[in-house]
Structure 1
Amino acid sequence: MLLLSGFTFSCLWAFGLGQLEPIEISVTRAVSQSAQISCKVSLEGFDKVDIHWYRQKTNQPFEYLIYVRNDNTHRPLEGISKKIEAKKDLRTSTATLIINSLKKEDEAIYYCALWVESSWIKVFSKGTKLIVIPSDKHLGSDVSPKPTIFLPSVAETNLHKAGTYLCLLEKFFPDVIRVYWKEKDGDKILKSQEGNSMKTNNTYMKFSWLTVTEDSMDKEHKCIVKHENNQGGVDQEILFPPIDKVANIISPTEAYLKTENAFTTITINPRGENVNNTTDLEACLEERRDVLQIQVTNTSAFYTYLILFFKSVVHLAFVMFCVFRRAALRCDGQSS
């Protein structure tokens, strides 16, 4: 997987970004249904190139599936013509893979690819994960990421001349999600950090945070969330106020969440300040404590296991030493 990613990005870097881009980062369908996975091809002469499709199941090698010729006819592998189909839409410059009669074993990451003209290099897309769920599994009416924001404390901004925005995303399904940060009016993706997606009951949660330096503390920033079940299929844009303004506010701060064309106001206090005990704030802090407690518990269990493991190794080494030493002494006594 890592090898493919490195190869993919090196090819894209060499021959131009955006040649192959999956339209969906994930597709979730039930057993027996059909799934369509689409790929946007930004390349002149799209009508003359062959589009190839691959997939990779967990811990398995890549599997070649099918290709679409420049005359828009598909060439499936022998024996699976009814199972897998492929097509091209010249009007929208998209290639689409269709998997019929889904089974659990169809779950994998699917890639579209093409040969670079006059070259032996094949360019791959980033991939789309197909998730196959049981036909009797019923997801909630809204399994899009639910954001809660945390703003930097006055102590942090005064001491370090920087501030950390924290975005907690909860109750989403599936676990495939992409989070990145930008300045409100900027196009550059900023360097940020994030934790792993963690399962809570039948949904998932994830942290992402951005540390803003002194030079950008007067600017608004936004956390952009890409997920299969975002409302209207539009990326969520979660707006964070300038840190300079946050640092000067003593009462709870109003933060704004931008989803599609509407703004929703939630009350969040900068970390480290004394606040009134509002129900919303208590709920947010309680959720955060629960997550931190899970992380601490997992870390503690890991190190406890390591300590017990090394203790067992030392004990075994001591016992083996005594046994071999006794055997050596016995042999010396017999030889004499």
Structure 2
Amino acid sequence: MLLLSAFTFSCLWVFGLGQLEQPEMSVTKAIGESAQIACKISPDHSDTDIHWYRQRENQQFDYLINVRQNYNQRPLDGINKKIEVSKDRQTSTSTLKVNFLKKEDEAFYYCAIWTYSTWIKKFSKGTKLIVIPSGKRFDSDIFPKPTIFLPSVAETNLHKAGTYLCLLEKFFPDVISVYWREKGSDKVLEPQEGNTMKTKDTYMKLSWLTVAEDSMNKEYGCIVKHENNKGGVDQEILFPPIDKVANIIDPTEASLKTENAFTIINPRESVLRHEHVNNSTDLEACLERRKDQLQLQVTNTLAFYTYLSLFPKSVVHLAFVIFCLCRRAAVHRDGQSS
């Protein structure tokens, strides 16, 4: 009976109950500083070894260190205490500390556990350590700033569906997670998204959700997880139901009374901006300026993706033309020599 219980526990550990969570998607530190990366195990298993791995870009996993009780450390690259790891038995959390940071330390770091009964190792999703130059400085507001687009009347009439688009701008670092859900529901919807693109020293990303026409009376949320979100809390950017937007007469009355208020511009054909304004004159000027900028950004982004999709076809076509020309020239020379 005891053996059966142990076997059952091991199976539950591997296939569901033994969960590893690294709360931070990314950690950004400057050269010469120290970085700490946390890993929480649930349920509590205070006597379990926690193993730590590193994976640099396009390289294999490197085994770093493990800890069972309280603390362990090891030298690396000839530096004493380059790697330190601790374990808090009360919270069942292990913390990896990387000291004397160099650019080469930039990588994904993973915690892992394994059970001796099954010999199966389980890894977390990982945290990316980003190492920036010691003198580099960013603005304090490098969190993702959203601009949202509502479905247009033309799209709804033509396709009997509507697309909600969330444009995230001016954030750093590039590690970001975006998902969508209907308000009041925990079910994650299936959006589409573009690649994260660099704009000067920051990044931008597009994510969009298409729903059927009869679902456009619901409220949808675009949830953004990022290292520099205010208060460390995920942003939830709400898209109002279309029927409510269509009934709005005064855009200033549509602003949500929160720190993350949105202003609605020209319902069903426009942009919502994560921004405050002082009066109606400033509102109109700001809206017009933002609308022009965003139209240009979206146009440039779509042109970029179109170029990427057509470039491989152009290369193949060019190679085929060159092959045909070379073959024709070879046949012509053979005919003359004979």
| Structure 2 length-normalised TM | 0.82
Distance 1:296 1:265, change over 3 A: closer
CA contact (8 A) 2:87 2:93 kept: yes
- Tell me what 1:323 maps to: 330
- Tell me, what secondary structure is at the counterpart of 1:83? strand
CA contact (8 A) 1:19 1:42 kept: yes
CA contact (8 A) 1:25 1:129 kept: yes
Deviations along 1:144-169, whole A, 9 cap, x unmatched?
11111111223434554432221111
Separation in 2, partners of 1:155, 1:252: 22
Separation in 2, partners of 1:262, 1:100: 37
* Aligned length, in residue pairs: 315
- Tell me, what secondary structure is at the counterpart of 1:290? helix
Separation in 2, partners of 1:49, 1:308: 54
Q: Look up the equivalent residue of 1:20 and give its one-letter code.
A: L
Separation in 2, partners of 1:300, 1:55: 36
CA contact (8 A) 1:239 1:257 kept: no
State whether structure 2 residue 272 is matched by structure 1 residue 266.
no
Separation in 2, partners of 1:12, 1:251: 57
Q: Look up the equivalent residue of 1:23 and give its one-letter code.
A: P
CA contact (8 A) 1:151 1:246 kept: no
What displacement does 1:13 show? 11
Distance 1:75 1:166, change over 3 A: same
- Tell me what 2:196 maps to: 197
Within 5 Å, give how 1:1-336 maps onto structure 2. 15-16=15-16, 19-44=19-44, 46-69=45-68, 71-74=69-72, 76=74, 82-116=81-115, 118-214=117-213, 216-249=215-248, 252=251, 262-272=259-269, 278-299=284-305, 301-302=307-308, 303=310, 306-307=313-314, 310-327=317-334, 330=337, 333=338
Distance 1:280 1:22, change over 3 A: same
Deviations along 1:16-35, whole A, 9 cap, x unmatched?
17701111000000000000
For structure 1, list consecutive stretches of 5 or more residues without a partner in the other structure. Answer: 1-10
Separation in 1, partners of 2:302, 2:151: 22
Q: Look up the equivalent residue of 1:314 and give its one-letter code.
A: V
Separation in 2, partners of 1:32, 1:110: 18
Separation in 1, partners of 2:334, 2:124: 64
What displacement does 1:205 show? 0.9
Separation in 1, partners of 2:13, 2:43: 14
Distance 1:237 1:41, change over 3 A: same
Distance 1:244 1:72, change over 3 A: same
Q: Look up the equivalent residue of 1:35 and give its one-letter code.
A: A
Separation in 2, partners of 1:171, 1:257: 22
What displacement does 1:310 show? 2.8
Q: Look up the equivalent residue of 1:298 and give its one-letter code.
A: F
Query: Identical aligned pairs, as a percentage?
Result: 59
Distance 1:233 1:255, change over 3 A: farther
CA contact (8 A) 1:31 1:132 kept: yes
Separation in 2, partners of 1:99, 1:310: 50
CA contact (8 A) 1:193 1:210 kept: yes
What displacement does 1:120 show? 1.5
Separation in 2, partners of 1:244, 1:161: 15
Distance 1:307 1:209, change over 3 A: closer
- Tell me, what secondary structure is at the counterpart of 1:114? strand
Distance 1:31 1:164, change over 3 A: same
What displacement does 1:269 show? 3.0
Deviations along 1:250-298, whole A, 9 cap, x unmatched?
765866569xx6452323333437xx99323323332332333333443
